[in-house]
Each structure stands twice: as structure tokens, then as C-alpha cells.
Amino acid sequence: MADVGNLIITPDMVPPDTAHLQALAAGCTAMAAQREEQYQKLRAANRLREEAAQSPGWQEGHQKNRQMEVDYGRITDAWRAGSTYFRVYRHECG
């Protein structure tokens, strides 16, 4: 038996089931893959627009598209981080 603060740990204790964490990690991985695909499409479309002829208002519109590209990149990173978190947490619990 070990005493950790207010928690008493005994040899007969069973760690919690972590199967649901694997499902959460898989869901985050799938979302990251989808967002990565959208991010790459936006990025390619923005590169094509950069090469297009400029017109009145073009710069403002393109600036918004660049910001959307950055935002999708951040969303993709967040989903990847969620996937990593649940995978690591599952291993720590299991």
C-alpha cells in the first residue's frame, strides 16, 4: 500500500478502462486529416490567386483568404494536438 497525499493506492486497484481514449484519439486524427486536406486546397487556391491579374479590391479579398489559410492551419494543429493528448493520456492511464 502506498500513501500519495489524500489518495491511498493498494495492489488490488484496477486502472480505468482507456478504450474510449483511443476512440477520441482516432476521431481527432481523422479530423486533423480532413482539415489538412482543406488547408492544402486553400493554400493551393491562394497561390493561384496570387498569380492572377490584380483588380480593384483584389488585395483586400486576398488578405482575407490568407487569413483563412492561417486559421485552417491552426485548426489542423489543434486537432493533431488533441489526438496526441488522448494517445498520451491513454498510455498514462493504462
What residue segments make up the domains of the chain, in order of their start?
16-51+59-93
Sequence letter at residue 88:
V
What are the Cα distances from residue 58, in Å, to 1, 42, 52, 70?
70, 17, 10, 18
* 4 against 18, higher pLDDT: 18
Q: What is the pLDDT of residue 48?
A: 83
pLDDT tens string 16-64: 788 888 889 999 999 999 999 999 999 998 888 777 766 667 778 888 8
What are the Cα distances from residue 84, in Å, to 32, 56, 62, 68?
11, 44, 33, 24
Q: What is the pLDDT of residue 78?
A: 93
User: Does pLDDT of 3 surpass 70?
Assistant: no
Q: Phi/psi at 25 (nearest 5 deg)?
A: -65, -40
Mean pLDDT to the nearest integer, 8-15: 75
Q: Which residue has the cell 482543406?
A: 38
User: Does pLDDT of 11 surpass 70?
Assistant: yes
User: Does pLDDT of 6 surpass 80?
Assistant: no
> Of 45, 29, 39, 44, which is closest to residue 70 (Cα–Cα)?
39
